[in-house]
Structure 1
Amino acid sequence: MSGSGFGRRFGPIACAGAMLVGAGGAEVSATPLTPFRYEAQAQRHCPHDRVVWLDFRKGVYYRKGQKRYSQGFDGSFVCLSEARDSLYRRSLLGLR
């Protein structure tokens, strides 16, 4: 058996897997999420952005004026742009 034994022995799936491993050079970087305990701290961190309440357990954020803004133990204040970049979605519930 000469040179082409890999393709016959492992088939096209192994070849495709080897190509995927080699293509790992393109990295995606997201904006880091910086959670704060207090709203004023978050506003100082991002003075030109809105501050939202991020519920880590539900994966949603609430804007000021919504019923669940700053409520719960599984949340934190963050900048709106960071929440969106980290793929958290806005809550449509609890609007006043």
Structure 2
Amino acid sequence: MNTVAVQTFSRQRLCICAFLIIVTSAVAPTVVTAQPLTSFRYETQAQAHCPDDSVVWLDFRKEVYYLKRQKKYGRGWTGSFVCRKEASDSGFRHSLLGVR
């Protein structure tokens, strides 16, 4: 290879590398930290933990929480009692089903 071809190849390679760095830094995801979620076996424990917040039943498998007036509140093997604000801050959603 002659020197002109080597210089052209090096410039192209440098441009491609710079382009990839710019593109990946522009679309790189931001750092997300998990919110602390304290789960309790009994409703009274959760209420003592968050006296100014309502207690909900969080179903970990379905990733939803139920309010006290809902049918599935306190039922199931894959859930526990948590504070409503902690559940919503952790990314769990409110279930619209089973309202009494």
Query: TM-score band, normalised by the shorter chain?
Result: 0.7 to 0.9
Structure 1 gaps of 5+ residues are none
Query: 1:50, 1:74 → 2: CA distance?
Result: 20
Structure 2 gaps of 5+ residues are 1-6
Instruction: Give the TM-score taking structure 2 as reference length.
Output: 0.75
Q: 1:71 aligns with which of 45, 70, 75?
A: 75
Instruction: Give the TM-score taking structure 1 as reference length.
Output: 0.78
Q: 2:44 aligns with which of 40, 43, 46?
A: 40
Deviations 1:15-67 (A, max 9, x none): 222x359x78x644443111111111111111110000000111110000211
* Identity within the alignment, %: 54
- Name the aligned partner's letter for residue 88 of structure 1: F
Aligned length: 91
Q: CA RMSD in A?
A: 2.5
Q: Find out whether 1:89 has 2:93 as its counterpart.
A: yes
Alignment partner, residue 51 of structure 1: 55
- Name the aligned partner's letter for residue 14 of structure 2: F
Larger Rg: 2
